[in-house]
Amino acid sequence: MTPSDQDLHPADLARKVLDHYLKEGHLPKLPDFLPPEYEKRAGAFVSLKKGGQLRGCIGTFEPVRQNLAEEIAANAISAAVHDPRFPPVTKEELPELRFSVDVLSPLEKVSSKAELDAKKYGIMVRSGSRSGLLLPDLEGVDSVDQQIDIARRKAGIAPGERVELYRFKVTRFTEK
């Protein structure tokens, strides 16, 4: 990446990283100097859509890398080539894809679903070692009950099973 890449919007950074990866077979070198917003650590999800339909989505609910730029870069590649729901993205598909990046706030434990809002908060449900996460403000998810049900299913947690509830906010960056 070049010095001018330092001003990239998070969704543009995800696209540029994936473009390089699909052409060269490895992650690009990220700039040594990063703007302050990329130096922080945060969980991030990268979503890819093609024709308005999900084509890949992978992320981390807590940071696992040195900074947000590395988190976005790794998750962009994972969303494209490691999401088990889809075949790997090809370089020919890249122009048809639309990228979005959700940067997550830290998880906050809540005592009841009354503290949740499907449009405002993402959720995580946890039972023992199983957990399921769902981002906020998703098309077709209009209630907290729907949100919890989907997160439970993702985690393999039965409807009557007791769960801990967590919420988080996201800052969503979509391509223009």
Prediction pTM value: 0.88
Q: Give CA–CA dist 23/12, Å, rounded.
A: 17
* Mean pLDDT (whole number) for 29-48: 88
Query: Do 42 and 71 form a contact (C-beta atoms < 8 A)?
Result: yes
**Domain co-membership, 84 together with 160:** no
Residues 91 and 122 in one domain: no
Q: Residues 7, 55: one domain?
A: yes
Mean pLDDT of 165-171: 96
Band of pLDDT at residue 37, cut at 50, 70 and 90: confident
| Same domain as 55, residue 17 | yes
User: Would you say residue 56 lies in a domain?
Assistant: yes
Q: 117 and 86 in one domain?
A: no
Residue 43 inside a domain? The answer is yes
pLDDT mean over 37-47? 93
Domain boundary among 104, 122, 157: 104
Residue 175 lies in a domain: no
pLDDT at 14 over 60: yes
CATH of residue 49: 3.30.700.20
Per-residue pLDDT band at 134 (split at 50, 70, 90): very high
Q: Domain tally for the chain?
A: 2
Among 80, 104, 128, which residue terminates a domain? 104
**Residue 87 predicted with pLDDT over 60:** yes
Shared domain check, 131 and 86: no
* Domain boundary, last residue among 104, 121, 136: 104
The confidence band for 8, taking pLDDT boundaries of 50, 70 and 90, is confident
What does the pLDDT read at residue 35?
82
**pLDDT at res. 7:** 60
Average pLDDT over residues 11-23: 95
Give the domain extent around 96. 3-104
Q: To the nearest whole percent, how much of the chain has pLDDT over 70? A: 96
pLDDT at 1 > cutoff 60: no
Domain annotation covers residue 91:
yes
Residues 86 and 141 in one domain: no
* 5 vs 41 pLDDT, higher one: 41
Average pLDDT over residues 132-142: 93
Task: Give ∠ CA 45-46-51 in degrees, rounded to 5.
Answer: 135
**Confidence check: pLDDT of 154 > 80:** yes
Does residue 132 belong to any structural domain of this protein? yes
Higher pLDDT, 35 or 5: 35
Q: Is residue 86 part of a domain?
A: yes
pLDDT of residue 36: 84
